[in-house]
Chains A and B, each alone.
Chain A
Amino acid sequence: MGAQPEVQLAVSSVSKHFGGVRAVEGIGLSVRCGELISIIGPNGAGKTSFLNMISGFYRPDTGSIMFEGRDITGERPSRIAALGIARTFQNIALFSGMTVLDNIMLGRHVRMKAGVLSSFIYWGLAQKEEVTNRARVEELVEFLELEDLRKQPTSGLAYGLRKRVELARALALDPKLLLLDEPMGGMNQEEKEDMARFILDVNQQWGTTIILIEHDMAVVMDISDRVAVLDRGRKIADGSPGEVQGNADVIRAYLGTAKDRQEVAAA
């Protein structure tokens, strides 16, 4: 192995409590440029809460988050997005009345500059900007194979396609780090394969770092460089897919121990 690529995201022992619930308890994670990391864990393990802290929706109670050497702990989500962190949601959050194109164009927001006055005048600066950014959006439309849906409102699209539009919108930001919260949830096998291919392409062609939350173990073990396992707000394992699969703590978190099962049976 040559020189290790530099660390892009360094999360050090962040915690988040909601009343008495310890959603996240001292989790640390460091992610290198271009890595594809999966975060797995049983329901309620704190995976989404962890992503919410990186993207700025939750302010961590303790700990810090550094992105490219810059402290982003507790910054507003829109500021964090402008730095190049994009994300998708577990339950799709598209702008349902807008067309596919407009949704993806919105993803370009932080890469565009037109203010109120130039938007009002439009001809000149704003139009030029619309056209150049439209060209980038069309690349994404082609990449994600959405050509025939461009001008359709997203509310009428099938579930799998909506997920794909949401990915396109996140990619339109030209992110350095992409957070994907269950991009394959609720999909059938074929849609999952398509999505996995898109994710791998993004990671390999553009070198985008990806943090992925996913429940489908087959996919996770196939495409990830590294897997982190959370359970009840703590990180219990972190390593290559092979290492994690053999980890005793992980097996216990997912399947329980023989002793647990006896207790359950007795209860």
Chain B
Amino acid sequence: MFHRESGVFKTSYAADMALYPLPIAKWAVAALAGLFIVIVPLALDEYYVSILDLILIAIVGALGLNILVGYTGQISIGHGAFMSVGAYTAANLVVHLGAPFWVTIPAGGLMAALVGAVVGIPSLRIKGIYLAIATLAAQLIIEWTINHVPAISGGVQASIQVPRPSLFGTPLESQTQLYLFLMAFAVLAIVGTSNLARSRVGRAFIAVRDQDIAAEIIGISIFRYKLWAFAISSFYAGVTGVLYTYYLGIANYEQFQITVSIDYLAMIIIGGLGSVLGSIFGAAFVTLLPIVTRWFLESFGAFIFSQADLANIIPNLRLILFGSLIIFFLVVEPEGLNRLWRNVRNYFRVWPFSY
């Protein structure tokens, strides 16, 4: 937010370490929360709320991947597969046991965390590109397993119908109800990740990323923390998978293929590695980009292209835009949208006396 520090004196360490050390920042966050929780669902119609739902789901997933890649520095191309583990765990629990959401969501998360921790074991020995390949293998193996084991996938189609979650006996039918439901989890993920990042475990993650030898010498067990990072990140992924399943009303492995893993990597690279706010920006940006380009081309594309061409151009343009944006951010602003936001903020912090 735009705020100035002058005149605020902290008199305790707790105050100095608060998430929002300035009173004005607390008010700004409260106002923002009010806007998104009260005004937005009332003001927008179903279609736009359903887009916001997608963003909320993506925020949870992006935060999870950022814990692993951004904070701990372990690359993973298997995020989509961990989501599918959560999704199918939940779907089976719902179909066979009629489990409510407060069982399926933690269960999906825990199952994904378990699988994620196992996939993370090689990270002790291999780094960088080699680890990327190992997680890529995990993505394909998990995809194949789900697809070929009927006990998990529920048959030939490999998809399981899942009814909407219900709260106090009422199913959440409208997009607005679902929006508030998803908002609760997104907020939980945002606050939890911010807390994690500023305390003992988060610092250890960053230490493992920056200097693993120095981390070991001050008593941080690298192996343990790498596995924790994989488990926590996969837990978030699992929860994302369950939420997405509820949103779609169906668990289907095609929703969690490798392109999804790449999308999430794009989110955290474009948004900003190792940043909570960046994950939110990235999730919103990557979710909105294809929708906006589609809308733009459908509205104005007809002046240049024929309708048949447009149908071809739209999906490919999305890939082209994605690729070029990732390259752009890696080269020009590796810290992503979060950094751009900080630059703007710092400019206005001292405005109009910026010398």
Determine whether A81 belongs to the interface, using a CB cutoff of 8 Å to chain B: yes
Determine whether B137 belongs to the interface, using a CB cutoff of 8 Å to chain A: no
Q: In the complex, A63 Cα to B17 Cα: how many Å?
A: 47
Q: In the complex, A138 Cα to B215 Cα: how many Å?
A: 21
Residues of A with C-beta under 8 A to B218: 81, 86, 106-107, 109-110, 169-170, 173
Could you tell me how many residues of chain A have their Cβ less than 8 Å away from some Cβ of chain B? 43
Interface pair B222/A121, CB less than 8 Å apart: no
Determine whether B203 belongs to the interface, using a CB cutoff of 8 Å to chain A: yes
Interface pair B201/A98, CB less than 8 Å apart: no
Determine whether A58 belongs to the interface, using a CB cutoff of 8 Å to chain B: no
Q: Which residue of A is nearest B229, CB measured?
A: A116
Dominant SS among interface residues on chain A: helix
B12-31: contact bitstring with A at CB < 8 Å (1 yes, 0 no)? 11101100000000000000
Which listed residue (B204, B214, B221, B232) contacts A94, Cβ 8 A?
B214
Determine whether B202 belongs to the interface, using a CB cutoff of 8 Å to chain A: yes
Q: How far in angstroms is the closest Cβ of chain A from B48?
A: 32
Determine whether A93 belongs to the interface, using a CB cutoff of 8 Å to chain B: yes
- Considering only residues 164-220 of chain B, those with a C-beta below 8 Å from chain A are 192, 195-196, 198-204, 206-207, 210-211, 213-220
Residues of A with C-beta under 8 A to B207: 95, 106, 109
Interface pair A77/B216, CB less than 8 Å apart: yes
Interface pair B203/A109, CB less than 8 Å apart: yes
Supposing A55-B217, A77-B217, A120-B195 touch, asked if A106 and B17 sit within 8 A by C-beta, the answer is no
Residues of B with C-beta under 8 A to A93: 211, 213-214, 217
Interface pair A102/B217, CB less than 8 Å apart: no
Supposing A126-B195, A130-B17 touch, asked if A98 and B206 sit within 8 A by C-beta, the answer is yes
Q: In the complex, A238 Cα to B189 Cα: how many Å?
A: 58
Q: How far in angstroms is the closest Cβ of chain A from B29?
A: 16
Supposing A78-B219, A82-B219 touch, asked if A109 and B214 sit within 8 A by C-beta, the answer is no
Supposing A119-B196, A122-B199, A131-B13 touch, asked if A95 and B204 sit within 8 A by C-beta, the answer is no
Residues of B with C-beta under 8 A to A78: 216-217, 219-222
Interface pair B211/A109, CB less than 8 Å apart: no
Determine whether A198 belongs to the interface, using a CB cutoff of 8 Å to chain B: no
Q: How far in angstroms is the closest Cβ of chain B from A249?
A: 33
Residues of A with C-beta under 8 A to B246: none
Q: In the complex, A57 Cα to B222 Cα: how many Å?
A: 13
Determine whether A16 belongs to the interface, using a CB cutoff of 8 Å to chain B: no
Supposing A81-B219, A116-B228, A116-B232 touch, asked if A134 and B200 sit within 8 A by C-beta, the answer is no
Size category, B interface: 20 to 34
Which listed residue (A79, A87, A112, A121) contacts B195, Cβ 8 A?
A121
Residues of B with C-beta under 8 A to A105: 203
Q: How far in angstroms is the closest Cβ of chain B from A55?
A: 6
Q: In the complex, A213 Cα to B9 Cα: how many Å?
A: 43
A90-114: contact bitstring with B at CB < 8 Å (1 yes, 0 no)? 0001111110001001110110111
Q: Which residue of A is nearest B212, CB measured?
A: A93
Q: In the complex, A155 Cα to B199 Cα: how many Å?
A: 21
Residues of A with C-beta under 8 A to B12: 131
Q: How far in angstroms is the closest Cβ of chain B from A93?
A: 4
Q: Which residue of B is nearest A122, CB measured?
A: B195
Residues of A with C-beta under 8 A to B228: 116
Residues of A with C-beta under 8 A to B195: 119-122, 126
Q: How far in angstroms is the closest Cβ of chain A from B1?
A: 19
Q: In the complex, A169 Cα to B203 Cα: how many Å?
A: 13
Residues of B with C-beta under 8 A to A122: 195-196, 198-199
Supposing A130-B17, A131-B17 touch, asked if A98 and B210 sit within 8 A by C-beta, the answer is yes
Nearest 7 CB-CB pairings of A with B: A81-B219, A122-B195, A110-B219, A93-B214, A119-B199, A119-B201, A95-B210
B interface residues (Cβ-Cβ under 8 A, vs A): 12-14, 16-17, 192, 195-196, 198-204, 206-207, 210-211, 213-222, 228, 232
16 contacts between A and B (CB under 8 A): A55-B217, A78-B222, A81-B217, A86-B218, A89-B217, A95-B207, A96-B210, A106-B215, A110-B219, A112-B200, A113-B200, A116-B201, A119-B196, A119-B202, A120-B192, A130-B14
